[in-house]
Structure 1
């Protein structure tokens, strides 16, 4: 009930706009745009969160000028008048559900990749991004005053387009190492003219942008600014600096709120604080929000792993911030606000901060989703889950994420579902993955799915392996096979020896491995790095070899950055671009994939393979052609990730 969260569900005034509660879907990339235009996917995505009870949404960082683009994402051009009808459709649709929606205006400056427009990136000084994870590190064009005023006018033009589109306001992106922050920061701004040097000069560009935006939208339209409370780079802006900057900008009377995040995209370690994974404790950076709030008298939004309604209420009650940004939480469950307000906390699908399907998909040039909410990003097709026209008896064989999601969706639609799991607990390989250091939250995927299937009345049968004979005798209307996969051990000379073990068995502690371990990672995913870290924590001497160009090459970048540092600090010896040639009784022969040079690692007690799985599809093949409806989902089709398994389970649950 709302009384459990009196602060979270109280309205707030921002400028002339009243927001119904304190929950904000802050700006984040989606990669839904096409040809730099808003699309139906944006509309359905934001409407779903408005229906779910969010107070305010801020649309993703849009480009105010053709000189700013991001190579891995299609960026909305907010200056383009072709987007006015789209903004109108979006704002009207969101307003029907009593939520507010703004648009973030941005120019990335040196953090641009203009491979499409072929325009150079630009910045206050010709200082490249040293560690830019998205777009490379070209030396930017140093902006002269004509360039500066062109971009200032572009911000104003974009704001006018957004206002014409019926949106509730704009948010100027002055954080994350983008152009406004580049002018503010002595780390980037090395100018000797009126735009560099003193704090007044370094704020000149920001003040000109704010003034031009106000000139185009008037005093009644909401104008906010996102800022980084700390850049987290040597020589960059600190909290003390940002408090003074915030005070000066607020004193103009032209900014209605601050949205306080942190970091710069130009440094990967810094970015691990901006988009914190499960390796970072929730609300770690609340001191930044509080620091800015104490410096100004306008509302402050706090952003950074506020992952539960209880924590959000604490942030507000302790006056750390006036509003709470809960982006990934709303990606995982758009209905979190309504569920929290109604006291249905157990029904909230919590974000596990894995980063795999939100930012991880963006890193690969894909549109966002959620590792265990496949509706997220597919709202246009899947937001409505219709009851089944005919109630069927359904057997689901396998209690991993694919089987659990198939059972959940089928039960929601009204089918009579029985789920068989041969082990004594549900979860499949997710429960193994959650045993890795600092990855306990990953188990929340199974925790949610199990609680939901039990609440929905699914008959969960543990410790019983469903056989072909049993299923044929029961003759249910439909059967979903979700039997997963078994560990794959590559066939190299010596792989049959007793010192060889899978990463799964090593994670579960099934055998005594001895003291000197060689981990062979053929995929660059979590299992190889995770088992290496777990064994290092046990005091083992661990060497990790991989044919990939670096260890963990297929792990989401911001998660990888923290994990890789821990592996180094814990003494794991890592050998990239190295393959395994042969396993002996107590040694392995390895080789460089570059030079083909071979060498031997001796006195080896165990060889641990992290090489993926092999589909356990025997039951599916035995039943094929013998049942009215038979489906296979997840790893028993082909061993992949949790996202694919849940997607397939969900899809089949809808199709039954």
Structure 2
């Protein structure tokens, strides 16, 4: 019997019964091909249905040409989409899950790129957004009516494809939200002015979608409980909107989230990183649920079944969005239902390969689970016909994933780590303020290694003698990287520290610190935050255009805000070349002109890493097959390390 009675109880909406309260919310996968749900798209969602999800809401579908871009998004503006949608619905239904479509229009919150050109963005009124710097064109009434009609046709297509329902996206400051917002909707016609008029676009959309769907399927709405952006919808306005829709019997449920895509502050709530608390949106959803009296869904850092059960028990929601939890582990629902909690690969909310890939314009994945988004090519690990003895050198993410994958293929695997703990640079990353959850990457891999029967040897570096003695059939080298320290004039006479030494507490920075950040990622920003929180005066000099240049933008912007509050001084376009006892000397990246920072007691170097190739070179003469993975190839991120570790494990 499950220990999560509420989470695994069915929920009935209209004529549809959903087997449990676990929801995969609508999220862009960028797996569509030519606007259609092809094989990769279907395989991605089918994996979550097979893993036990109760309901899958497919990503925001574009239903009108004014919302099209060159991005690989789902388009439902013609009947050409029906066969692919039917295949998708059938694939999800085959495993007992339900599936809803989602209709959305970004409005002014877009660059609207097509062929490298920015197109016309439409909104209720000419009010610019604060993120993409888009100045929209006010929608003529004829265009509003055209969009409404096209939404009805799109609903019919979902219905003909066998979908169980449709959700309208009125969240995150997008087009529907803009019509609802009196600060953004400045119209004086039937679609603006009074509350009823501002509601009209949404209610007209809901009416035509209901007509296109018919009476049976479910019709709901996703909305931000608060947009948390200057001028955004507040909680009282959102409650009033939902109450009005309830009174009109226009919707069957409300799906709540947080934030807005219109600006940099509210965007972090769209996909909240590990710095934000677990289930922090749930109390706001509970307030709305009590005020409106409709079934309420909620999402926002609900990554474990225990958390979801608590949300349901508190009466804060009727269903829990656990999207990233199932991106990291599609089988999370089945594991929770059968009591295999320790086997769940918990999401660490790093946002690197889920929303991070979206912002790069590439298909979705997960740094812990390279199979995500690659289900058709990596989804089945085949056993080797000839089990072999494999030695893995290096116990960071690359080596751990390589050892795990090789063991899953049936090989006898020994993992050697030179240090006392597995984890590599993850052990450093988790030491930064509010980043301890990143260590879950190691915790998850350690459990999987034990379950797979991998022999782990700590404090045992690998050498040529080790390989001669153990005679493995192949060696996977994953020895990582070493701090890169270029020649810095005067460094021998100044207080210059490596980032690793500061993070591990092996060095004591002075009261006035300059962090030289070539990486432009989490290391420099995290060090600056850590040192500022300790009460030190901190300057962060980045060898790039801005701090966090190489980070996922929601996390970067949130972190920039924290550094600003802490009083960290940021110096962009700065390359460190010299130091003395109290000064750091830098050159402007563009002009080469000097940038001088006075009154500096300590310089902390976050200048990247160089690949550790020593073992590779030592083993090369032995003739044993070598496979390389991670930073020993080239220093990058945990995502590349885990992916390459998996590929090395598949190669042996």
Question: TM-score normalised to the size of structure 2?
Answer: 0.97
Question: Deviations along 1:157-209, whole A, 9 cap, x unmatched?
Answer: 11111112222221111111111111111121011122112211110111110
Structure 2 equivalent of residue 127 of structure 1:
127
Structure 2 equivalent of residue 463 of structure 1:
459
Shift of 1:591: 2.8
Q: Kindly indicate whether residue 113 of structure 2 is the aligned counterpart of residue 115 of structure 1.
A: yes
Shift of 1:288: 2.0
Q: Distance in 2 between matches of 1:551 and 1:390?
A: 50
List aligned pairs for 1:195-214, cutoff 5 A.
195-214=191-210
2:395 to 395, 399, 405: 399
Report if the CA contact (8 A) 1:122-1:143 is conserved.
yes
Q: Distance in 2 between matches of 1:600 and 1:176?
A: 43
Q: Distance in 2 between matches of 1:388 and 1:313?
A: 40
Structure 1 equivalent of residue 234 of structure 2:
238
2:223 to 227, 234, 256: 227
Shift of 1:32: 0.9
Structure 1 equivalent of residue 67 of structure 2:
68
**The 10-residue stretch of structure 1 (96-105 or 215-224) with the greater mean CA deviation from structure 2:** 215-224
Q: Distance in 2 between matches of 1:115 and 1:494?
A: 49
Structure 1 equivalent of residue 33 of structure 2:
34
Q: Kindly indicate whether residue 340 of structure 2 is the aligned counterpart of residue 344 of structure 1.
A: yes
Q: Kindly indicate whether residue 529 of structure 2 is the aligned counterpart of residue 529 of structure 1.
A: no
Q: Distance in 1 between matches of 2:397 and 2:18?
A: 37
SS of residue in 2 equivalent to 1:294? helix
SS of residue in 2 equivalent to 1:558? helix
Q: Distance in 2 between matches of 1:70 and 1:290?
A: 36
Structure 2 equivalent of residue 641 of structure 1:
637
List aligned pairs for 1:88-167, cutoff 5 A.
88-116=86-114, 119-130=119-130, 132=131, 136-167=132-163
Q: Distance in 1 between matches of 2:239 and 2:631?
A: 51
Shift of 1:490: 2.2
Q: Distance in 1 between matches of 2:519 and 2:72?
A: 29
Count of residue pairs brought into register by the alignment: 650
Shift of 1:594: 4.0
Structure 2 equivalent of residue 9 of structure 1:
8
Shift of 1:478: 1.5
Q: Distance in 1 between matches of 2:162 and 2:78?
A: 15
Q: Distance in 1 between matches of 2:285 and 2:458?
A: 47
Structure 1 equivalent of residue 417 of structure 2:
421
Shift of 1:455: 2.6
List aligned pairs for 1:182-581, cutoff 5 A.
182-497=178-493, 499-581=495-577
Q: Distance in 1 between matches of 2:303 and 2:397?
A: 22
Report if the CA contact (8 A) 2:172-2:259 is conserved.
yes
Report if the CA contact (8 A) 1:289-1:321 is conserved.
yes
Report if the CA contact (8 A) 1:488-1:502 is conserved.
no
Q: Distance in 2 between matches of 1:43 and 1:408?
A: 27
Q: Distance in 2 between matches of 1:602 and 1:26?
A: 51
Give structure 1 stretches of 5+ with no counterpart. none
Cα 1:497–1:39 shift into 2, 3 Å: farther
SS of residue in 2 equivalent to 1:250? helix
Structure 2 equivalent of residue 81 of structure 1:
79
SS of residue in 2 equivalent to 1:268? coil
Report if the CA contact (8 A) 1:371-1:643 is conserved.
yes
SS of residue in 2 equivalent to 1:67? helix
Displaced runs of 4 or more, over 6 A: none
Report if the CA contact (8 A) 2:229-2:266 is conserved.
yes
Shift of 1:236: 2.7
Question: Deviations along 1:377-398, whole A, 9 cap, x unmatched?
Answer: 1111111122222211111111
Q: Distance in 2 between matches of 1:339 and 1:110?
A: 42
Structure 2 equivalent of residue 25 of structure 1:
24
SS of residue in 2 equivalent to 1:181? helix
Report if the CA contact (8 A) 1:426-1:446 is conserved.
yes
Q: Distance in 1 between matches of 2:261 and 2:466?
A: 56
Report if the CA contact (8 A) 1:387-1:414 is conserved.
yes
Shift of 1:628: 4.0
Report if the CA contact (8 A) 2:10-2:21 is conserved.
yes
Q: Distance in 1 between matches of 2:529 and 2:111?
A: 35
SS of residue in 2 equivalent to 1:339? helix
Q: Kindly indicate whether residue 617 of structure 2 is the aligned counterpart of residue 621 of structure 1.
A: yes
**The 10-residue stretch of structure 1 (109-118 or 535-544) with the greater mean CA deviation from structure 2:** 109-118
SS of residue in 1 equivalent to 2:251? coil
Q: Distance in 1 between matches of 2:598 and 2:263?
A: 39
Shift of 1:495: 4.3
Q: Distance in 2 between matches of 1:57 and 1:430?
A: 32
SS of residue in 2 equivalent to 1:258? strand
Shift of 1:98: 0.7
Shift of 1:516: 2.2
Report if the CA contact (8 A) 1:122-1:141 is conserved.
yes
Report if the CA contact (8 A) 2:191-2:200 is conserved.
yes
Report if the CA contact (8 A) 1:239-1:291 is conserved.
no
Q: Distance in 1 between matches of 2:623 and 2:564?
A: 53
Question: Deviations along 1:260-302, whole A, 9 cap, x unmatched?
Answer: 1122210121121232111100111212211221133332111
Q: Distance in 1 between matches of 2:324 and 2:595?
A: 46
Question: TM-score normalised to the size of structure 1?
Answer: 0.96
Report if the CA contact (8 A) 2:395-2:417 is conserved.
yes
Question: Deviations along 1:123-150, whole A, 9 cap, x unmatched?
Answer: 11111112x2xxx222211112111100
Report if the CA contact (8 A) 1:177-1:265 is conserved.
yes
Shift of 1:534: 1.3
Report if the CA contact (8 A) 1:125-1:143 is conserved.
yes
Shift of 1:595: 4.3
Q: Distance in 2 between matches of 1:286 and 1:67?
A: 34
Report if the CA contact (8 A) 1:422-1:466 is conserved.
yes
Report if the CA contact (8 A) 1:68-1:112 is conserved.
no
Report if the CA contact (8 A) 2:158-2:213 is conserved.
no
Q: Distance in 2 between matches of 1:112 and 1:539?
A: 40
Report if the CA contact (8 A) 2:103-2:151 is conserved.
yes
Shift of 1:245: 0.8
Q: Distance in 1 between matches of 2:218 and 2:172?
A: 21
